[in-house]
Amino acid sequence: MFPILYAEAFLDHRTGAYHPERPDRLRAIVQRLNAQPWAEQLHWQLPSDRPELLNLIMQVHPRDYVESIKRIASRGGGRIDMDTSISASSYDVALLAVSAWLDAVDLVVHQGQPSFVLARPPGHHAERDRGMGFCIFSNAAIAAHYALKQFTIDRVAVLDWDVHHGNGTQAILETHPQFAYCSLHESPNYPGTGSNSETGYYQNVLNLPLPPNTTSETYRQVFQEQVIPFLSNFRPDLLIISAGYDGTKADSISQMLLQPEDYQQLSQWCLEITPHLMFGLEGGYDLDSLSQSVVKTLEPFMVVNP
């Protein structure tokens, strides 16, 4: 069985009419996953209730920032930047999303089991003391810090294939030699970071900015020639994939030319780097290509009967 970390409460993060990061993203993915011939191989798992959750989050985000998000939500909501909305439920939903990412770490550490975190809001743009780019808490970075507390984990890598550079994840992880961060992203595009000259404090960052209209062929070549060697040489005990799907040709938020089928190959290559991996949803806003891409990401893990 392949675990999917999901809760209907993730739909309660309301971003407003016409906002691309909307609850329908998850609805579309759930519907398509349940329509697959291997749907019975999925184990839908609710995130854990973690008494220590706030302490784990505050190892990455300062208390003042966390409390500011709670305060805005308690007043009915607001904006923390022009792109990032908070509704009355968003603080609780964002906490639940972090818990789901931590559950995925536990599945790898304690059961050797990969999983997919189907949660929102996303997280890779959230910096230590600032939410931005639809993101509130830095889910992948919090998960990476949590993983290092586990006895069997000494090195954690984050691979970010969202079409936007994960500025928050990089900023939080690059100062620690036990973390590595790798990103393939469109450039120029939001948030304007992710130059290939940014290599981290310990040569532990690999940024691969790609021009608009980059094709599947180029993505695959860059992955084989640069991503795989970088991550393999780092030898992570856990590989966290910030799985964004806004690089597809159908997604209006970028100008890249990927197809859903490409994520099946990327997922297969990740599995060959290490079986100790987890996926967490970041971007992806065209509902059809988003849901197809998630299906393709999971196909290498499914047993298909002839």
1.10.3470.10, 3.40.800.20, 1.50.10.10, 3.90.110.10: CATH of 2-301:
3.40.800.20
- DSSP per-residue codes, 205-231: EEEEEE-TT--HHHHHHHIIIIIHHHH
pLDDT of residue 305: 65
Q: What is the pLDDT along the chain (306 residues), one digit of tens a residue?
A: 999 999 999 999 999 999 999 999 999 999 999 999 999 999 999 999 999 999 999 999 999 999 999 999 999 999 999 999 999 999 999 999 999 999 999 999 999 999 999 999 999 999 999 999 999 999 999 999 999 999 999 999 999 999 999 999 999 999 999 999 999 999 999 999 999 999 999 999 999 999 999 999 999 999 999 999 999 999 999 999 999 999 999 999 999 999 999 999 999 999 999 999 999 999 999 999 999 999 999 999 998 765
In the three-class reduction of DSSP (H, G, I as helix; E, B as strand; rest coil), residue 232 is classed as helix
For residue 125, which of 117, 133, 114 has the smallest C-alpha distance?
133
Q: Where are the domains of the chain?
A: 2-301
Tell whether the torsion through CA atoms of 133, 139, 145 and 147 is positive or negative. negative
Tell whether the torsion through CA atoms of 216, 195, 120 and 111 is positive or negative. positive
In this structure, what DSSP letter does residue 153 have? Answer: -
Residues 6+ apart with CB under 8 A from 8: none
Q: For the beta carbon of residue 19, count every other beta carbon within 10 angstroms.
A: 13
Q: Is 125 considered catalytic here? A: yes
Cβ 250 vs Cβ 289: under 8 Å: yes
Q: Using CA atoms, how far apart are residues 120 and 281, in angstroms rounded to an integer?
A: 7
22-53 exposure pattern, b = at least 16 Cβ within 10 A, e = fewer: beebbebbbebbeeeebeeebeebebeebeeb
pLDDT in tens, 199-227: 999 999 999 999 999 999 999 999 999 99
Q: What percent of the chain has pLDDT over 90?
A: 99
Letter for the amino acid at 86? I
Cis status, amide bond into 121, omega within 30 of 0: yes
Q: Which of 61, 124, 125, 276 is catalytic?
A: 125
Q: Using CA atoms, how far apart are residues 202 and 192, in angstroms rounded to an integer?
A: 22
pLDDT in tens, 281-296: 999 999 999 999 999 9
pLDDT of residue 306: 56
Tokens of 123: 């997280």
C-alpha separations of 284 from 50, 232, 271 in Å? 28, 27, 22
Burial of 126 (0-12, 13-18, 19+ CB in 10 A): buried
For residue 258, which of 287, 294, 297, 218 has the smallest C-alpha distance?
218
171-182 exposure pattern, b = at least 16 Cβ within 10 A, e = fewer: bbbbebebbbbb
For residue 186, which of 205, 163, 169 has the smallest C-alpha distance?
163
C-alpha separations of 66 from 61, 107, 138, 153, 260 in Å? 7, 26, 11, 27, 35
pLDDT in tens, 217-256: 999 999 999 999 999 999 999 999 999 999 999 999 999 9
